[in-house]
Chains A and B, each alone.
Chain A
């Protein structure tokens, strides 16, 4: 069974959610700045790869966790994936999509543009970390709700 955390660029919020889900980031406190450096795929998604699912790991319930960037096309991309799986006879209850796009601090968005679009990583990445730390409680709530629901289903 596969779980996809998706956001706009697939580089920050979805990666953070997937990392909390898999235990790469703590679920009881806001992580320090240096802890984000150890997170795989954080601020790494190339703009040309938006749409491609990236594998992050397997959780304790056996769900494969992926991250995806969908720009602002989730209303098109998600039906197209489900439709494609349906055509190939794959049951839709094997796939779950979770929107990781919470209301972000504008600094995060600005940092994302600087880092991913303009290539100014050394300037943009600390800004995204600062913004993600501000929004961390909201991301934590998403992951806790997802895990609670997964446990109920399994």
Chain B
């Protein structure tokens, strides 16, 4: 991709053409963008480890994060940059992951963005609990029980996520 920078100096208007290195965007997507999609992305980037994921403080913050961003379907959440300088995001697509992928790839072509996008489907890892937890989070009355279920779900999922993040997902499954 070519970027043109225009600046004004004493000698007049100057233009500099520079080349931007094309980057890779890795997008973890699922029904929700904040449950297994976020966990996998966080393990991938390295901002989360198994010990930290089990701590009560993290669970409390993560539970609030899920309550805030869980219902925001379609919003890309920036997680970080991995060791290979790929930008890692997560997104909630409900059951329309394939339509979202085609739409974003279409925009990539129309606006000549030039970056490569890779998608990793995490939908199968969510299970039923995030749906129940998400429904409970709408009512403060269920806060305690939803947090209990949430903690159980995180503990159950972390090991599975770690196995996948260490394996082929780190290479970026192209879908």
Binding site for B on A (CB under 8 A): 2, 49-53, 55, 64, 66, 68, 70-71, 73, 75-81, 83-88, 90
Please report the C-alpha to C-alpha distance between residue A69 and residue B91 in the assembled complex, in whole angstroms.
20
B101 CB to nearest A CB, Å: 7
Q: Which residues does chain A contribute within 8 Å of B93, judged by CB atoms?
A: 73, 76, 80
Overall SS of chain B's interface: mixed
B76 touches A80 (CB 8 A): yes
B102 touches A84 (CB 8 A): no
Task: Tell whether B54 is near chain A: CB-to-CB under 8 Å.
Answer: no
Task: Tell whether B128 is near chain A: CB-to-CB under 8 Å.
Answer: no
Task: Tell whether B100 is near chain A: CB-to-CB under 8 Å.
Answer: yes
A75 touches B73 (CB 8 A): yes
A49 touches B111 (CB 8 A): no
Given contacts A76-B94, A77-B96, contact A84 B107 (CB under 8 A): yes
Closest chain A residue to B104, Cβ basis: A84
A54 CB to nearest B CB, Å: 9
Q: Which residues does chain A contribute within 8 Å of B91, judged by CB atoms?
A: 80, 83
Task: Tell whether B89 is near chain A: CB-to-CB under 8 Å.
Answer: yes
B110-141 with Cβ < 8 A to chain A: 110-111, 113, 115
A78 touches B74 (CB 8 A): yes
Given contacts A76-B73, A87-B89, contact A81 B98 (CB under 8 A): no
The listed residue with most A CB atoms (<10 A of its CB), out of B75, B100, B101, B113, is B100
Given contacts A76-B74, A77-B99, A80-B93, contact A88 B115 (CB under 8 A): yes
A52 touches B74 (CB 8 A): no
Closest chain B residue to A89, Cβ basis: B113
Binding site for A on B (CB under 8 A): 25, 72-76, 78, 89, 91-94, 96, 98-107, 110-111, 113, 115
Q: Which residues does chain B contribute within 8 Å of A90, judged by CB atoms?
A: 111, 113
A85 CB contact (under 8 Å) in B73, B100, B107: B107
Given contacts A51-B106, A73-B94, contact A80 B100 (CB under 8 A): yes
Closest chain A residue to B29, Cβ basis: A80
A39 CB to nearest B CB, Å: 21
B96 touches A84 (CB 8 A): no
B73 touches A51 (CB 8 A): no
Please report the C-alpha to C-alpha distance between residue A87 and residue B107 in the assembled complex, in whole angstroms.
12
Q: Which residues does chain A contribute within 8 Å of B75, judged by CB atoms?
A: 79-80, 83
B102 CB contact (under 8 Å) in A49, A55, A87: A49
